[in-house]
Amino acid sequence: MQAQSSPHPLELFFRQAVRNSYEGKLGLHDPEVTGYVAHLLCEFTRTDELYNMRDEAGHPIQELEEMMRASDPVHGSAPSFDAERALRKHIGDFALFVGGMYPEAVGSGRGRHRHQPTLEELIRAGKESYYIVSQFNLFEYEHEAPLFARLADSFERCILGLTLVHEELGPRKPLLPPPPIN
């Protein structure tokens, strides 16, 4: 884990975009959630972070179903409670990001051999994963646990807010030239 030296160059931009959607449009006034989601957007500007879960052979896990199997504390590949928590946190982050920022990719497995999760599957996996992370509420995780409980409770609103961010940041309609002055 790298030291917190300086914020990501896009962090202030993403923080404002998320705040505009979450607070301004949805009435979700939680600066800690806003900051977390803005930071998440910064992290996932790199696709290697989006797909940082690995299978036993070291290959990136790109499908939600495989991520869920890997996080299973009994039959999955998580060797410890800390590893299970990290996997569940990542699944929640992945589900929130994909569901909100890439709604066009959700459940559109047209002809592909990979299963693309539906929005309902993303919501279920994300809420469950953030809830499980919130249950790790002792020692070094005590301070973060309430944030993940709030993320689980407001997961659908958080996805909707990110969809609004996506729309705000998406391609703009071409500007028309101003009408001629007579």
Q: Are 67 and 53 in contact (CB under 8 A)?
A: yes
pTM recorded for the entire structure: 0.86
SS3 per-residue string spanning the chain: CCCCCCCCCCHHHHHHHHHHHHHHHCCCCCHHHHHHHHHHHHHCCCHHHHCCCECCCCCECCCHHHHHHHHCCCCCCCCCHHHHHHHHHHHHHHHHHHHHHCHHHCCCCCCCCCCCCCHHHHHHHHHHHHHHHHCCCCHHHCCCHHHHHHHHHCHHHHHHHHHHHHHHHCCCCCCCCCCCCC
In one-letter notation, the amino acid at residue 104 is E
Quote the tokens at residue 15.
């923080």
- Among positive and negative, which fits the CA dihedral 124, 128, 130, 131? positive
Beta-carbon contacts of 49 under 8 Å, excluding residues fewer than 6 positions away, are 43
Each of the 182 residues of the chain gets a pLDDT tens digit; together they read 444 557 788 999 999 999 999 999 999 999 999 999 999 999 999 888 998 988 888 889 989 999 999 998 888 878 888 989 999 999 999 999 999 998 887 875 554 546 789 999 999 999 999 999 999 999 999 999 999 999 999 999 999 999 999 998 877 655 455 555 54
What span, in angstroms and rounded, lies between the C-alpha atoms of 132 and 169?
31
Domain boundaries, the chain: 11-107+116-168
